[in-house]
Structure formats: structure tokens, C-alpha cells
Structure 1
């Protein structure tokens, strides 16, 4: 692995050195637009070099009027192997070097447009490579850039497909750093992908053993295809005869181009990698998959796509992808997860999902919110199998805490109704890197990855000294009922000058004419200045005064007077409605979260009633789904379950440090004064 890494680093450094030629004519953020497509072009050139003559000969022998599908089949056959790409130009990188340098631009355009349609689309529409070639020509740097790329040996016998994947992602990581891309647009470190893949297949031995096994793998935000490639590698390592079909979709044009190029040169169907927004244009709408993996963007809003997503949620419900609900507009991670769940297979094999997300999907959103309803849907359907808290500082562009979720619709009997939480964030599971890569300062070593997989596969629940890192819960343990606790409204009333002045701010009073206003004020000034602690008594006095003054008080005006002349008073009598029931005070309203397994009445009598005897539960505050008292919510709070108390240091120790610092400061001041 070290040798492989050294090779990738060497290739990356060489490709990156070409940026020196681009400096001045291109911005730093534009380097990738030249270097990445040139790397892909050089890789394809190396792959097709040996079959160039055979392909040109086969093309000459094609019958007139041959259809596109037949032509492609014949020419793919001339290339040989599983490669699904050909080039009909007479040029290669080697022969281009022997041409007139002044003709290089037109020759390269001819070379690129002579690729089979599946690759031509990548260079012309996704990489927009001809635009970059034109800029290179105008800057008079096309020849030196081309010449440097000609020196990179990317032949398959020299650089494997896996190594090419490493090279692509290493280059993209560098471009991402200098472009200051957001933390949500990072790339998944290889050790994180390997961990997720190992967790997904950890208990699938029986399902993956034998001949004739086919597994379909899907990533809805596939980037350059790293997750897909490593999943195939792991499945092939387990069973060399297994057939793995890879599917994906990607929104970023350059990443899509690299991923599709990778599929082309490794024998996969490139049409199974789609371009576009997964959330609004599902390119695999009719497909179900065995394994699904993803690392969707974190904290990236979906505002510009909200109309289509909300329309699907409202119009299709659970027949669509977002029937459980939609999260807040600022974070679309749970949309991706719902999308993946919609693609679980219904056969006896079922599906398994591995997805990396930040902490927001665990606990953001209270009862009845979109996030809570999505969690509820997943947990009540018993799809969530395990969640693993990963170390911080694992990713290239962000150091935030991340979590790997594992879901399946075919839980084994011992896991049914259960969720395993694994806290792999401690120093037992990571080591510092000798050299940081952007924000990535830590990595998960192989032995730590194996340790996490062992804990998961063994369904450990604190056994063998793992109490600090592994715990198993019932799905209902994460649920609660949010009951609304009301307390009675208690008001006193007084017709003091200060309170009467407040009336001028009331809407009902503002609408009156000047004569009406004056009549009301005269009426209030005539009221006794007594402090009323009973609303009914005050209302009686108000009505009596109004009758004496011959003033009619409409309901809105009376309400405005009550509002202006009242103040909350815990010693006042309770205000009641027409039926004699106490009215709730909205300012004293509170909500209690009752564990789902507990009866809310018992909870209220134990936790609330002893402290506020006049409180009651508003039984009209009910859940929209089960119609029971209290709205149901779900959250998964890792800190609560794995909190470790750290006692404060002794005061003597802190005092000693302060005195030492004071002495040090005094010494420094003495030196300055001297």
C-alpha cells in the first residue's frame, strides 16, 4: 500500500507541476479545468494505443449504412477486453508530438471529437474541454502543457484502475482546497469508504458465497466513483466470481466526467452513471439495488430545488420518495437518505444502505418537524440497524463530527426492533497523520477499522469491556411524546393612569373616532382605582360604569381594555371561561418530553404536578398520526448515551498554576523594566 501511495503521490505531484505553466493565464481555481480532463485524455490514450490500428482497420471495413449500435459493438470488439470506448482519429499522443506545433490545437480537437459518443460527450459537454484548449492556444501555452502530459505514463500495466481513482481524487482534493469550496463538497477519504463497505458486507457471508451471484451497487451522489470502485473491490476480494454492476448519479460535471471515464475503462456500462440532480431528476427511477452507499453534501441548502421536491412529497406521498417529510431548507441530507430507502429491494435478499452524514440528521428538529418525522418513519419501520460516530478531522475540507448510518430492510432476528450505537470517535480508533491534508489531520488505521467492524458484526452491547463504545437500544428508546403543559391565567386589573395610557397602543382603540376615544377614557377614569384580583369582579365594575355613562362597549373594545388594564399576578384569582374552566396562560405554557415507553399521565403526576399543582395537560395537543395525546418525536443524542463525566481539577492544583503564572509574568515585567 505504501508503494502504491508513493506512486500516486508521484503522479499527482507531476500532474500538479503543470500548474506552473498555467499560472498567469488561468486562475488557481481554474487549474482543475485543464489538468483533470488532460489526465483523463492521457489515460484513454494509453489504454487505446495498442488497439489503434485494429480499430482503424475495423472502421474501414464497416458496411455502408451501419447503425450506431452495430458500429459501436464492432469497434468495441476491435479494442478488446471490457473497454467500451474507441477513437477513430489517426492521432495518438505519441504521433501528435511529431506534428507541426502550430497545428496542435486543431489536431487535438480532431482527436477529441473522434472518440465514441459516450466519451465525446464527456469532453465536450461536461469538461467543456475545447474551451480550455482555445484558452491554452491563445495564451501560447498549449504545446508545453501537452508535452508535459505526454510524459506521464498512464498505461494500465503501469497504473491500475484503483490507482487512477486515487490519482483523480488526490488532484480533485487539491483543486477543492485552492478553490475554497464549501465543507459540504468534500471527498470521502478511502479509509472511511472501506469502513462503510466492510460494515455493509460484514454479516453477508452466506448471501455472497457461491457462483452466479450478482450484486447491484448504487451511489446517488457518486462524485468520481470512489465508493462504487471500493465496494466492487471488496466484493471481488470476498468472491472473485461475483458479478458487480455499478450505478450512480452526479451533479458536478467534472466529477461525473471522471466517474464515467472510470466506468468506461473498467468494463462497466457507462450509461449506468447518470448526470443530473438526483433529488429532482432520478435517473434510476425504476431501479432497486442490493447495496447503496453515499456521502451526500452536508449543510447545503436545497432552496433552488424546493418546488419539485415539495411537489413530489405532497402529490405522491409514500408512493414517491419523500412521503415521510422534508427537512429544513438549509440541509438536504435526509432527502438523500429517503431517496436511497425508496430503492430498497423487496425480495428475500433485501438491501443494505451505508451513508455518512453530520450530526444534524440525528437530532435537529422537534416533534412533528420534518426531520423528526423522517427519523420516526425509519425507526418505526425498523430499518436503522446501527449508527457509528466517527472521529473528527477525517475529511479534507471539514473537521466536523460525522456519523455512518447503516440501514437494511432485512434485519436478522436478533437485531429486530434494536439499534446499535457505536462511539468510534475516541483516540482508540484514530491516529494522527504525519502531514495534514487540508482539514484532514487524522485517519482510521486498518486495525481500528477491523475493531469497529468486529464490534458491529458481533452486535456487542458493552460486552468484553466495550461498555464505553457500544450500546444497544430498542427503537422506541429514541422516541418521546411532547405534551403541552398549561398553567392557569391569573390577572389583576386596575384603572390607573399608567395602565389607561397603554390603551392608546391597542388596535381596537386606534380605530375609534376622537369622540368615541374621549368617551372611553372618561369611562375608565371614572372607575374605582381599586386593584381587582378577580376578572369577573372587574368586568362587573366596568359594565356598571359603562351603563352609567351610557357607553356601549363592543367585544373587541372590551378585550382591548382587559389587555391594557391587566397585569399577571400569581396571587390573583384564576381567570375562567364561560363554562367555568380555567383559561391557560400562554406565557406560562411549557412542553414536557415524555419517553415513548412511559404513560404520559404517570410522568405528569411524578415530574410536573408536585412542583406546579395548578398545571394540567392540554389533551387537544395530539399527534397527527396516532391521534394520541402529545406529539411524537424521535431524536438520537449520542452525547447523552456516551457522556463521560470528567471531574474538575482540585482547587489546589489550579491555584498553584495561577501562582506560577503570576510569578512568570512578574519576572517578565522585571526584565522589561530593567
Structure 2
């Protein structure tokens, strides 16, 4: 089975399982509004997943708890008995809860209270106790518990592996988001894009396989949602080396998706303390940490006014702060996440991060965005930018880009940046999901990764199983070519006789005619001025005190291909033919005499 087929099969299973679980919401009808269903469904799925994982060792945990009940420290013993990083000491199971409808509230609360502290933290952030009270008042708690006892809600590990459970969670988040009129894409990224980002991270990583003992990597996602980027990257690395030692870290600000991420980490046997709750921009939980890989799809088009005080204080720290190089406009904080990721990379570390088009060129010379690009490029950390196909995401159809940033380029890439146009490298979906109408299939992904690895100019093609041609273009550019000197051109002020007005013996400046020119960094300013300005504006001069350095990445211009216009005569003939056909149709409709 190919990866495409695997994704399709798993995708169908995930959709079906999530749909069955979401149907439990029928019980909530009336007591809850549709946009509130997720407040119950999401934590109940987390609880049931924990329950089904713990069920085989439930009695062993109860026996161990009875044995060590008087000990001050019990966690280690109980975790060992459960086989997980969490446990439940309550005697209840979902089946025994179902068997006693008269005491459902007390028994269910006792069951929840039996969970270990790390699970209590998850449910507390989801504010689930308030939902228990609400379900009791609405007299639906027993039925909800009963619904989750059905076979369709069986979430045991032998039925659903960890990574697929993560995607079921995400599908449920999507349903909750849609019913709440919220952007589902704010919480998760589709698997085809994640796999591409993972493969781009590993490709050309000269440090990945240097250790004779195998792959050892730390991975970080600063806006992790339900943590599936971390899970997928771990999966990819273990496909390369089954014994790979991969440690994942992540931070998330949404209480529900954080809870799901932490639950996923607990079930997979990782350290739940590596999953941290908080706003990355103003409450960095990994201060002082550095990682081998960073992979992230941070929010874009979202303002950072709430975090402004902390962000600006961090900026004032200069090089010792995460945001020292510059600050973007308060209307969009995506480049702040990029700076945070750079600060978190080890020497030799690599980052794959999604940005929209504004990060390429927004902002004038010496503005915050330009200074961030300058910081990246002058340190030679920007390795490549890949334009993704439009309509690749659930919540937007606009152009998006994967930036590959590395603190340790191979010698053949030093001083260079690769731009890859993969906007035509996709296959159409049979059925759209929100705005997502295309998939980066295995054929498309392999071509993009190959083009990145080959590191040369050209247009490259591959054939899909259906015979469709996918295309990927590559341009290798000198990093310095993205920089420019912005010069200010002044013109003399003229009097009514067309003569220069003098001030202190020098031509006065006509501020109405002041203009700027962007001169490539690798070009002499004076030569450019004499060639491009003076012939069209005699007597003008450069105000050297106003020269600024800027950086932009002209992605669209780099791949622009001029198409020869048709000769005027050909166009005229085509217009005449259209007119003739139109007149014939009018005659046929109304008759020649318009009768």
C-alpha cells in the first residue's frame, strides 16, 4: 500500500469513527446548543480513550493501590502497574457506571477523581467539572456515559493506534469549530502538508545520521494545536530508524487542543511535562531550551495586541531576546513565531514553518519585517522557501509557503537561497474539506523533496498514477540578491523662470518631487543612479543621510514568465468572428427584419 492509499484508508476510518462519536451529541440536543456540543464531546473522548487504554490493567492498579495506600508517594508504583504515565484508582469502569443509573453523578465524579494529577490537569483546563454539573441539571449525564459504552466509542489501543487517535481528535475539533463558526484550520494542518514539511526537514540534514548509535532528535512545535506535527515527525524519523530516539516538546494556548495534545503524549508514553500550556509570544515555557528540529504552522493574520507589552519588552533586550531583530505590524504576529523558532534552534538545527505571502515582502526598508528578513539572510540561515498549492488548507485558499531555516548549511548551499514554486504540484481532491480542494500526494511530495535535494535551477515534472503531470520549479539565488539600498532622490526647487532656487549657495530641495529607488546590494549606487535616474531627472541628487538597507523576497517576480501577446491583427480577426457569430444568433432569434 502506498502512503497515498494509507492516508486515504486511514482518513476514511478517521472520518467514520469521528462521525459515530459526534453522533453522541444527539443526546445533548436541547440541553446544549450545537456550537456547545464539543464542550462535552471532546473531554469525554479524552476520558474514554484513557479508560480504554487503562482497562486491561485496571485490576492490577486497584490491587497495587490497596497495597501501597498508606505510602506518601504512590505515583511510581501506580504508573508501573498501569503501564502508562497515568492511572485511575477508582473502582468504576464505564460498564459499572452504566449499571447504576440511580447514582450516576456520585459515581462518575468519583471515577473522574480517581485519575492521576496529570489527567486532572487536562480535564481542569477543559473546565469539565462545569459540564458535569450542567449535564446533571439537564438529566443527560447517564445517557452520555451510556453512549460512550457502545462499540462505536471503543478507543482501545488495539483498535486505534496513537497517531490515528490524534487525527480523530482533530476531526472532532474540526466539527466543533465548524459548529462554533470558528476556523478549524487554526487548530490543525492536514497530513499531506505535514509529511512534506517533515521530509523537507530531514532532507539535506547532514547531522541526521552522523551518530553511529542512530537518530537522536529533539523536536519542538511552538503552536502545536493537537500535536500532530510532532507525532508525524516522530513517525517519519522512526521510519528511517526504528530505534530513533525522538523527544517531543510543544506549547499551545487553546485549552481543548492543549488537553488533547497532552493526552496524546501521555498515551504514547512520553513525558507530559514536555507539553506546556500558555501563549508562546508572552509566556515562553521553554526559555533557555534549544532543539534539533522546529516544525510549526503558527497563526497568521492574527494580531498580537494582547501580547504587546511582553513582546516589546523582549524586543528591547536586543540580541539576548527572542524578538531583538525587529517587530512586525501588530495586525499579524506570524513573523514573531518565526523569530521564536530561530531562537530555539541548536547550532545545526533546522526549522520548517508555514507563513503566508506577507512575510516575503511586507514592510519598507528598515521596518520590522524587513529587519527580520535581514537577520535571517545575513546570518545565512534561510535555506529555502516552497510555495504550496492554493487551496491546500482547510481554512484558507490563499498562497502559503514553507520556509526552511537551518543553522548550519552544507558548503554547497552557503550564501544561497533556493526558491521552489510547487503551486502546480498537487492532485485534486474528489471531495473538498472546507477550503481544502487539493492534496500534495506522494508523487507530488517526492518531486518537491527531490527538487529541494538536487539544488539546481529548472522546471521538473512527474506523472501521477492517473497520468496527470505535476510540475515543480526551482531557482537558486545569491542571498545578497534579496537585499537593497533604498536611496532617496532629491530634485531641485525651480522658480517661475525654471531656474534653481538656491539656499546657502546650494540648490533648494523640492519636497514634492522627492522619490526613492531600491538599488540591489550587489550593485554600485552611483552607477545605478547615473544609469537609471539622471537621464530622466537631470540635476537630481542622492541624499546619502537617508539611505536605508532593506530585504524582500520577490517570489512571484522570480518565477514570472513573459507570454508574448498575440499580434493586433489576429486579435482583431477574432473579435470580428465573435461579432459575426453574435449577429447570426440575433438574426436567428429575432429574424432578419426583427419581426
Q: Same fold (TM over 0.5)?
A: yes
The answer on whether the counterparts of 2:353 and 2:402 sit within 8 Å (CA) in structure 1 is yes
Cα distance in 1 for residues equivalent to 2:477 and 2:212: 35
* Aligned match of 1:359: 357
* Aligned match of 1:147: 146
- Distance apart, 1:32 and its partner CA: 1.4
Is residue 390 from structure 1 mapped to residue 316 from structure 2 by the alignment? no
The answer on whether the counterparts of 2:27 and 2:140 sit within 8 Å (CA) in structure 1 is yes
The answer on whether the counterparts of 1:389 and 1:423 sit within 8 Å (CA) in structure 2 is yes
* Aligned match of 2:3: none
- Distance apart, 1:663 and its partner CA: 5.6
Q: TM-score normalized by structure 1?
A: 0.82
* Aligned match of 1:62: 68
Cα distance in 2 for residues equivalent to 1:603 and 1:420: 27
Is residue 446 from structure 1 mapped to residue 372 from structure 2 by the alignment? no
Is residue 17 from structure 1 mapped to residue 23 from structure 2 by the alignment? yes
Q: Name whichever of 410-419 and 209-218 sits farther off.
A: 209-218
- Distance apart, 1:212 and its partner CA: 5.3
Q: Which has the larger radius of gyration?
A: 1
Cα distance in 2 for residues equivalent to 1:666 and 1:256: 69
Cα distance in 1 for residues equivalent to 2:533 and 2:93: 80
Cα distance in 2 for residues equivalent to 1:619 and 1:441: 51
SS at match of 2:72: coil
**Superposed counterparts of 1:460-475, under 5 Å:** 460-462=456-458, 469-475=473-479
The answer on whether the counterparts of 1:292 and 1:354 sit within 8 Å (CA) in structure 2 is yes
Q: TM-score normalized by structure 2?
A: 0.92
- The alignment's C-alpha RMSD in Å is 2.1
Cα distance in 1 for residues equivalent to 2:258 and 2:134: 23
* Aligned match of 1:228: 230
- 1:209-247 Cα offsets, whole Å, 9 max, x none, are 642542100000000001000000001110111111000
Cα distance in 2 for residues equivalent to 1:238 and 1:574: 73
* Aligned match of 1:105: 105
Cα distance in 2 for residues equivalent to 1:108 and 1:35: 16
SS at match of 1:290: strand
Cα distance in 2 for residues equivalent to 1:120 and 1:304: 28
The answer on whether the counterparts of 2:34 and 2:179 sit within 8 Å (CA) in structure 1 is yes
- Would the alpha carbon gap of residues 370 and 142 (structure 1) be closer, same or farther in structure 2, given more than 3 Å must change? same
Is residue 174 from structure 1 mapped to residue 175 from structure 2 by the alignment? yes
Of residues 280, 303, 306, the one that matches 1:304 is 306
- Distance apart, 1:63 and its partner CA: 5.8
* Aligned match of 1:627: none
- 1:179-235 Cα offsets, whole Å, 9 max, x none, are 222487252111000000001001237633642542100000000001000000001
Q: Which has more strand, going by share of residues?
A: 2
- Would the alpha carbon gap of residues 666 and 411 (structure 1) be closer, same or farther in structure 2, given more than 3 Å must change? farther
The answer on whether the counterparts of 1:187 and 1:395 sit within 8 Å (CA) in structure 2 is no
- Would the alpha carbon gap of residues 19 and 193 (structure 1) be closer, same or farther in structure 2, given more than 3 Å must change? same
Is residue 74 from structure 1 mapped to residue 77 from structure 2 by the alignment? yes
The answer on whether the counterparts of 1:186 and 1:397 sit within 8 Å (CA) in structure 2 is no
Is residue 572 from structure 1 mapped to residue 529 from structure 2 by the alignment? no
* Aligned match of 2:114: 114
Cα distance in 1 for residues equivalent to 2:544 and 2:194: 48
The answer on whether the counterparts of 2:185 and 2:393 sit within 8 Å (CA) in structure 1 is no
* Aligned match of 1:559: none
- Distance apart, 1:148 and its partner CA: 1.6
- 1:504-533 Cα offsets, whole Å, 9 max, x none, are xxxxxxxxxxxxxxxxxxxxxxxxxxxxx3
Cα distance in 2 for residues equivalent to 1:611 and 1:204: 50
- Would the alpha carbon gap of residues 620 and 33 (structure 1) be closer, same or farther in structure 2, given more than 3 Å must change? same
Of residues 289, 307, 313, the one that matches 1:287 is 289
Is residue 591 from structure 1 mapped to residue 516 from structure 2 by the alignment? yes
* Aligned match of 1:95: 96
* Aligned match of 1:203: 204
Is residue 409 from structure 1 mapped to residue 407 from structure 2 by the alignment? yes
SS at match of 1:293: strand
* Aligned match of 1:511: none
- Would the alpha carbon gap of residues 653 and 149 (structure 1) be closer, same or farther in structure 2, given more than 3 Å must change? farther
Cα distance in 2 for residues equivalent to 1:258 and 1:250: 10
Cα distance in 2 for residues equivalent to 1:296 and 1:669: 61
Is residue 376 from structure 1 mapped to residue 302 from structure 2 by the alignment? no
Is residue 488 from structure 1 mapped to residue 487 from structure 2 by the alignment? no
Cα distance in 2 for residues equivalent to 1:353 and 1:3: 30
Is residue 636 from structure 1 mapped to residue 553 from structure 2 by the alignment? yes
The answer on whether the counterparts of 2:202 and 2:208 sit within 8 Å (CA) in structure 1 is no
Cα distance in 2 for residues equivalent to 1:139 and 1:186: 30
- Distance apart, 1:669 and its partner CA: 7.7
> Any gaps of 5 or more consecutive residues in structure 2?
1-5, 463-470
SS at match of 2:283: coil
- Distance apart, 1:261 and its partner CA: 0.1
- Distance apart, 1:141 and its partner CA: 2.2
* Aligned match of 1:188: 189
**Superposed counterparts of 1:126-137, under 5 Å:** 126-137=125-136
The answer on whether the counterparts of 1:183 and 1:298 sit within 8 Å (CA) in structure 2 is no
The answer on whether the counterparts of 2:185 and 2:394 sit within 8 Å (CA) in structure 1 is no
- Distance apart, 1:328 and its partner CA: 0.4
Is residue 164 from structure 1 mapped to residue 170 from structure 2 by the alignment? no
* Aligned match of 1:238: 240
Cα distance in 2 for residues equivalent to 1:665 and 1:61: 96
Cα distance in 1 for residues equivalent to 2:560 and 2:99: 68
> Any gaps of 5 or more consecutive residues in structure 1?
492-532, 534-570, 622-629
- Distance apart, 1:468 and its partner CA: 6.9
**Superposed counterparts of 1:499-514, under 5 Å:** none
The answer on whether the counterparts of 1:186 and 1:396 sit within 8 Å (CA) in structure 2 is no
- Distance apart, 1:572 and its partner CA: 3.4
Cα distance in 2 for residues equivalent to 1:660 and 1:98: 79
SS at match of 2:68: coil
Cα distance in 2 for residues equivalent to 1:197 and 1:117: 33
- Would the alpha carbon gap of residues 267 and 638 (structure 1) be closer, same or farther in structure 2, given more than 3 Å must change? same
